């Protein structure tokens, strides 16, 4: 066989990377994997000192578990399906599962205003607040360092005695002499410390504000406590002493002893006469007390039941009304006899195209009594948002305006997906237009839109924006400023957690758990009901 014949009979080369480029196609993905995993591991390494300093062991464990899983999945070739599942699974755990578990955990505590700190921190604050400065008390220059964040801490005080020039390290655990090899003292002030980031004066001032990490910060000593004052510190004497064995605080000057006593969902140090030593309390586990309060406190239970009923009405009407209106408009514009259908559809979609918060704020002005568009067009003088009944009507009407374009889109797509042969066959059999719609079109339409109706119900059951931006839950009665006339459960929960009267985050978490369970039960019932539509399909 000649060389020409061999060349003609040889099979053509398959397309693909050239031999010289195969190494590149293998190396680039490997480099990308190494760089990606390295960046994630580097981020974990940088966050580890902060988590260790704040003793956030759970977050530290979760962080390195994620790093380990990512490395095991993306570095090896054994978990190819996991490469596609892992990103979504991590985000689901971090942003869905973990917040749910955290909310459940908070619901068993009294966490909120006045109970954010631990019992130990509260005792230190009580003792520090009772401290007074004696004659010839030690004073110090002050520098503040942190091993974590300059805003949230944790903080360590670096003190230099003005009388002796000795440097000390002060924490909430106590006062210790500073190691001269680890601190730098210039002009009687510690300017640097090994392993710490030193705060500037502006950062110290910010951290000393109410709620900051240095607010109420004290260093216990044998004589009393050292408290920062401005950009210095002074040793104070406190007549109060805490006995850990008996869990009591004793005033050494008066001899009065205070013991913890339960008052509602909080504990206070109280003497034998019932007088509180301080109004400060602390966060702790209280079991089912928050849940008992929901159903046993007459004021809370009455509000909860009424708000729950209105929430159901709001969700059912919002879904039903928007669906019916959207369906009617979709049917009309699905008729070939209608001229300019594209223009009409574009106009109808305008409420859906406008961001929701803008529409709600505009409609809030429309319902205004004095200059609102509704009263001007109708010639009425109704205080729409000032009365519970009219305010409910305003909320429902506004939500109808904002929601029906979405249902119009869904119904239009579902109607166009129904085969025209079915309607033609029914027409030949003598079925009227209404009969065709009732027997054929509507059942087939529900097969498509029923899951979306369930999702829309769940959304409106927790439609916080529609209430907060339009009425803020109001109107409110003077007798009960907590529960408003248009509050749904989610807005009521928000007010309990972040209301002006004080944040009761633990109690609000319990309400959120109840709300989560109710939403899940209702969605389950609705999805069970949609199974009947499978036979239609």
| Residue percentage of the chain with pLDDT more than 90 | 45
Q: Which helix (H) or strand (E) element contains residue 251?
A: strand 248-251
Q: How far is residue 484's CA from residue 386's CA, in Å, rounded to a whole number?
A: 11
- Quick check: 88 and 260 in contact, CB under 8 A? no
Q: Which of 12-16, 455-459, 479-483 has the highest mean pLDDT?
A: 455-459
The phi and psi torsions of 380 (rounded to 5 degrees) equal -90, 170
Q: What is the pLDDT of residue 193?
A: 94
Q: What is the pLDDT of residue 261?
A: 93
Average pLDDT value over all residues in the chain: 86
Instruction: Classify domain 131-237 at the CATH topology level.
Output: Periplasmic binding protein-like II (2.40.430)
Q: How far is residue 394's CA from residue 403's CA, in Å, rounded to a whole number?
A: 14
Q: What is the pLDDT of residue 479?
A: 79
Strand partners, 175: 170
Q: What is the pLDDT of residues 16-51, one digit of tens each?
A: 444 444 444 578 877 888 888 888 889 889 888 888
pLDDT of 518 over the 70 cut: yes
Q: What is the pLDDT of residues 400-413, one digit of tens each?
A: 999 999 999 999 99
Strand partners, 268: 261
- Domain positions in the chain are 24-106, 131-237, 296-536
Q: How far is residue 325's CA from residue 347's CA, in Å, rounded to a whole number?
A: 15
Pairing of strands 257-263, 225-229: unpaired
Mean pLDDT of 203-224: 79
Q: What is the pTM of this model?
A: 0.73
pLDDT of 53 over the 50 cut: yes
Q: What is the pLDDT of residue 533?
A: 63
Q: Which of 11-20, 180-189, 229-238, 345-354 has the lowest mean pLDDT?
A: 11-20
pLDDT band at 168 (very low <50, low <70, confident <90, very high): very high
Q: What is the pLDDT of residue 322?
A: 96
Is the domain spanning 296-536 CATH 1.20.140.10? The answer is: no
Architecture of the CATH domain 24-106: Up-down Bundle (1.20)
User: CA-CA distances (angstroms) from residue 482 to 110, 297, 303?
Assistant: 19, 14, 9
Q: Which two tokens stand for residue 322?
A: 């928007």
- Quick check: 226 and 157 in contact, CB under 8 A? yes
Question: Given phi > 0 = left and psi -120 to 50 = alpha, else beta, which region is 379?
Answer: left
Q: What is the pLDDT of residues 69-117, one digit of tens each?
A: 888 888 777 777 888 888 899 899 889 999 999 999 999 999 988 888 8
Q: What is the pLDDT of residue 473?
A: 93
Q: How far is residue 61's CA from residue 519's CA, in Å, rounded to a whole number?
A: 32
- Quick check: 196 and 207 in contact, CB under 8 A? no
Q: How far is residue 283's CA from residue 429's CA, in Å, rounded to a whole number?
A: 73
Q: Which two tokens stand for residue 299?
A: 């004021």
pLDDT band at 164 (very low <50, low <70, confident <90, very high): very high
């Amino acid at each position: 066989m000649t060389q020409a014949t061999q060349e003609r009979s040889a099979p053509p080369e398959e397309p693909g990377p050239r031999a010289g480029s195969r190494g590149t196609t293998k190396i680039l993905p490997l480099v990308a994997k190494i760089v990606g995993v390295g960046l994630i591991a580097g981020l974990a390494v940088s966050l580890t000192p902060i988590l260790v300093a704040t003793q956030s062991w759970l977050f530290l464990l979760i962080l390195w578990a994620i790093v380990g899983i990512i490395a095991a999945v993306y570095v090896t070739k054994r978990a190819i399906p996991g490469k596609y599942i892992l990103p979504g699974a991590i985000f689901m755990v971090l942003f869905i599962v973990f917040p749910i578990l955290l909310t459940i955990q908070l619901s068993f505590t009294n966490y909120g205003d006045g109970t954010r700190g631990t019992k130990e921190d509260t005792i230190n604050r009580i003792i520090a607040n009772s401290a007074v400065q004696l004659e010839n008390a030690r004073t110090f220059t002050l520098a503040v360092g942190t091993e974590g964040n300059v805003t949230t801490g944790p903080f360590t005080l670096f003190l230099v005695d003005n009388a002796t020039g000795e440097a000390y390290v002060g924490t909430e655990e106590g006062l210790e002499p500073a190691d001269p090899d680890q601190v730098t003292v210039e002009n009687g002030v510690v300017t640097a410390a090994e392993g710490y980031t030193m705060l500037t004066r502006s950062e110290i001032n910010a951290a000393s504000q109410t709620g900051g990490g240095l607010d109420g910060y004290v260093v216990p000593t044998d004589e009393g406590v050292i408290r920062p004052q401005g950009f210095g510190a002074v040793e104070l004497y406190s007549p109060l002493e805490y006995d850990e064995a008996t869990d009591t605080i004793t005033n050494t000057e008066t001899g009065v002893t205070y013991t913890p006593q339960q008052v509602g969902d909080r504990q206070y140090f109280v003497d034998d006469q019932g007088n509180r030593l301080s109004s400060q309390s602390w966060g702790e586990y209280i079991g089912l007390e928050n849940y008992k309060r929901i159903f046993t406190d007459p004021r809370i239970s009455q509000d909860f039941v009424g708000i729950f009923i209105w929430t159901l009405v709001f969700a059912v009407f919002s879904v039903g009304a928007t669906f019916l209106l959207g369906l009617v408009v979709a049917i009309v514009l699905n008729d070939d006899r209608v001229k300019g259908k594209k223009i009409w559809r574009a106009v109808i979609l305008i409420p859906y195209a406008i961001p929701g918060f803008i529409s709600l704020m505009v409609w809030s002005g429309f319902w205004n009594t004095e200059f609102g568009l509704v009263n001007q067009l109708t010639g009425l003088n109704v205080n729409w948002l000032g009365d519970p009944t009219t305010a409910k009507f305003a909320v429902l009407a506004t939500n109808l305006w904002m929601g029906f374009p979405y249902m119009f889109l869904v119904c239009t797509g579902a109607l166009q997906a129904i085969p025209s042969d079915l309607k033609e066959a029914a027409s030949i059999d003598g079925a009227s237009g209404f009969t065709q719609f009732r027997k054929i079109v509507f059942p087939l339409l529900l097969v498509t839109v029923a899951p979306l109706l369930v999702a829309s119900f769940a959304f409106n059951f927790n439609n916080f924006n529609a209430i907060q931006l339009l009425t803020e839950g109001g109107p409110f009665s003077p007798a009960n400023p907590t529960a408003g006339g248009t509050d749904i459960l989610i807005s009521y929960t928000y007010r309990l957690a972040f209301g002006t009267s004080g944040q009761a985050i633990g109690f609000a978490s319990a309400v959120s758990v109840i709300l989560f369970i109710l939403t899940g039960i209702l969605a389950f019932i609705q999805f069970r009901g949609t199974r009947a539509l499978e036979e239609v399909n």
